[in-house]
A and B are shown apart, each in its own frame.
Chain A
Amino acid sequence: MAATIRSLTRPAHGADNRPHTKHRTLGLALGLVGVVLVLIALVGNISAANATNEASAAQTLAWTFGLTVLGFGTVKFGIAVILVGILVRLWLRVDSVEASLPALRAASDGNQLTAGQSISTAFGPAVISTGQPKPLTIHRMAGTMWAPMLAMGAMALVAGFVLSLVWSAQVGNDESAVAASAWTQGLQFLGEGFLLSGISFLLGSILASLREGGASVQESVGIVVQTLKMPGTAKIFVVLMMTGLMVSITQFVLYLVVAAGVDNPGAWFAWLGPFRELGLGLLLSGIVMALVTIGNVLGFQFHRIREICAVGR
């Protein structure tokens, strides 16, 4: 299973860099479909706002909710597909750098660093080793978890959309409408949480491939390997992602409590809606930190390639 997931993101060593990969086209097509679904839901919302019959408006608002969240999920799935494409391209870039660097490398000035040493760089502290550093636990986890997260997210979203149709049909029947509404909201936002976690794991996999690929390039020209220590932004990313995922799971459980029957469900819905949005907000804030970390690591990698080309070490 892990090997199959890995093969999706890692092309064969020495594969041709020139052909187009389909990830971007597929990802953007999914993104467009998602935006169209949200647009249809907007039209539904406007018609509900202008409806004279309250029950008919409530029915429309129920399915537009389901359709909107399904639309968001579709765009997010498209983003995930594009991230897989980035991972594939990153490995092809590693191949290109490994093939080119021996010719571009300057003669060494002999001033070699020693393994085990820690150094300070403009991009943060780094460690020196003679070979590939051990993969971090979080990177190993990211490499295997992104696909199950995306699959579970997609299933929860589709199931939630079907439930939104049930909710729409139950309008007027108070108890079952509340239960269907709670199930729809809880399940769909659990799906959104899983999708954003899948995207976070893909970003973690990108960081892992930058670490492994960067070390592999340095090793290929026979010099000591410099690897950045885990930056503070990466630690914040992990904390926010885990917290956001926990909030997404908790909101699902609490919606099930509402579906089972509580006094005054309106008061529960009033805070559960923003609570589930808070969960997504935390996951998205973590994604910002992951992207910032990727920017820093790239800066460090270019600095290393420049150093190898200029002074040979």
Chain B
Amino acid sequence: MATATFDGFKVDEFDRAPDMNLPQKLGTRLWLPMWIMALMGFGVGFLLAIVRADAIATGSAETTIASLGHVQAGFMFIGFASVFAAISLAIARILGAFRTGGSSVQEVTGNRVQVLAMPRMAKAFIVGMMMAMMLIVIAVIIHFVVGASVASGATSVADGNQAFEILDGVRRLGVGIYLFSIALGLGTIITVLKFQASKIRSLARNV
């Protein structure tokens, strides 16, 4: 593989059409398990919410209600973390389709294959996605730990509520960063489309 510049784009050159890169392969394999996990997370989270609402309506112990609140939020946000991961992986899969498809067209026309080098925006997309995933997963784990601690009486309901307010903000920040990373992933698609439109015109000129 060699690097070159084409029409202002930094490109990698190959003799044959390359395969997807690692994030794109992961996208192809992992979007479905993540999507299924998301649906399960939303389902369990909503069921727990009904149980908690019933506990409030029937005047159950405050510790039970507070503990259920933590566990319910934890499951719901397993759902959100998974669905955002599935969206990010599906975007990576689209970028993979552009990479393999575009390079195979160049190969079949008898040209040396030029593939857009991974743009900085795509790298930021991956880093942002991982940061957001970590923020949400850490918040979810703490929710489960605090929920168990409140249920056992080791943590007071007031302290549990205080932890909930902070974790709520952390989870939301995770969602915000996830959404911004998705915007970066989609922005990368614009770069790829522009590169491919220029590339196919140059293939025709070289015939």
- Contacts A34-B179, A48-B165; A288 near B86 (Cβ below 8 A): yes
Residues of B within 8 A of A95 (CB): 197
The reply to whether B87 and A291 form a contact with Cβ atoms under 8 Å apart is yes
B83 within 8 A of A: yes
B186 within 8 A of A: yes
Residues of B within 8 A of A75 (CB): 176, 179-180, 183
**B contact face: mostly helix, strand, loop, or mixed:** helix
- Bound-state Cα–Cα, A273 to B164, Å: 15
Residues of B within 8 A of A266 (CB): 56
The reply to whether A281 and B38 form a contact with Cβ atoms under 8 Å apart is yes
Residues of A within 8 A of B177 (CB): 35
Which of A108-116, A131-139, A179-187, A305-313 is found at the contact surface with chain B? A305-313
Residues of A within 8 A of B84 (CB): 284
The reply to whether A285 and B83 form a contact with Cβ atoms under 8 Å apart is yes
- Bound-state Cα–Cα, A95 to B49, Å: 52
**What is the 8 Å Cβ interface bit string for chain A, positions 58-84, against chain B (1 contact, 0 not)?**
000100100010011001101100110
| Residue from B45, B180, B204 within 8 A of A34 (CB atoms) | B180
**What is the 8 Å Cβ interface bit string for chain B, positions 165-198, against chain A (1 contact, 0 not)?**
1101110110111011011101101100110111
Residues of B within 8 A of A96 (CB): 196-198, 200-201
The reply to whether B196 and A306 form a contact with Cβ atoms under 8 Å apart is no
| Residue from B42, B168, B176 within 8 A of A35 (CB atoms) | B176
Residues of B within 8 A of A34 (CB): 176, 179-180
A120 within 8 A of B: no
The reply to whether A49 and B42 form a contact with Cβ atoms under 8 Å apart is no
Residues of A within 8 A of B189 (CB): 86
Nearest CB of chain B from residue A94's CB, rounded to whole Å: 9
| Residue from A68, A72, A270 within 8 A of B49 (CB atoms) | A270
The reply to whether A72 and B179 form a contact with Cβ atoms under 8 Å apart is yes
- Bound-state Cα–Cα, A82 to B169, Å: 27
Nearest CB of chain B from residue A189's CB, rounded to whole Å: 13
- Contacts A104-B109, A291-B90, A292-B93; A302 near B182 (Cβ below 8 A): no
A166 within 8 A of B: no
Nearest CB of chain B from residue A39's CB, rounded to whole Å: 6
B31 within 8 A of A: yes
A223 within 8 A of B: no
B35 within 8 A of A: yes
- Bound-state Cα–Cα, A42 to B165, Å: 9
Nearest CB of chain A from residue B27's CB, rounded to whole Å: 9
**In the complex, which of the residues A72, A99, A267 has the most CB atoms of chain B within 10 Å of its own CB atom?**
A267
The reply to whether B204 and A104 form a contact with Cβ atoms under 8 Å apart is yes
**In the complex, which of the residues B31, B54, B170, B173 has the most CB atoms of chain A within 10 Å of its own CB atom?**
B173
The reply to whether B52 and A271 form a contact with Cβ atoms under 8 Å apart is yes
Residues of A within 8 A of B53 (CB): 267-268, 270-271
- Contacts A96-B201, A264-B56; A288 near B90 (Cβ below 8 A): yes
A205 within 8 A of B: no
B80 within 8 A of A: yes
The reply to whether A295 and B90 form a contact with Cβ atoms under 8 Å apart is yes
Chain B contacts with A in 83-113, Cβ cutoff 8 A: 83-84, 86-87, 90-91, 93-94, 96-98, 100-102, 104-105, 108-109
**In the complex, which of the residues A32, A82, A295, A299 has the most CB atoms of chain B within 10 Å of its own CB atom?**
A295
**What is the 8 Å Cβ interface bit string for chain A, positions 230-256, against chain B (1 contact, 0 not)?**
000000000000000000000000000
- Bound-state Cα–Cα, A212 to B193, Å: 17
Nearest CB of chain B from residue A102's CB, rounded to whole Å: 8
Nearest CB of chain A from residue B19's CB, rounded to whole Å: 14
**What is the 8 Å Cβ interface bit string for chain A, positions 11-55, against chain B (1 contact, 0 not)?**
000000110010110011001101100110111111011100000
- Bound-state Cα–Cα, A78 to B94, Å: 20
Residues of B within 8 A of A291 (CB): 87, 90-91, 93-94
The reply to whether A302 and B105 form a contact with Cβ atoms under 8 Å apart is yes
- Contacts A61-B165, A89-B194; A79 near B97 (Cβ below 8 A): no
The reply to whether A277 and B76 form a contact with Cβ atoms under 8 Å apart is yes
Known A-B contacts: A86-B186, A86-B193, A278-B45. Give 15 more (CB < 8 A).
A42-B173, A45-B166, A49-B165, A83-B186, A89-B190, A93-B197, A104-B200, A274-B46, A274-B72, A281-B80, A285-B39, A287-B87, A288-B31, A298-B101, A302-B104
23 cross-chain CB contacts under 8 A: A27-B183, A27-B187, A38-B172, A42-B170, A42-B172, A75-B179, A79-B183, A86-B186, A92-B193, A100-B201, A100-B203, A103-B207, A270-B69, A271-B53, A274-B45, A274-B48, A275-B46, A281-B83, A288-B38, A292-B31, A292-B93, A295-B90, A306-B101
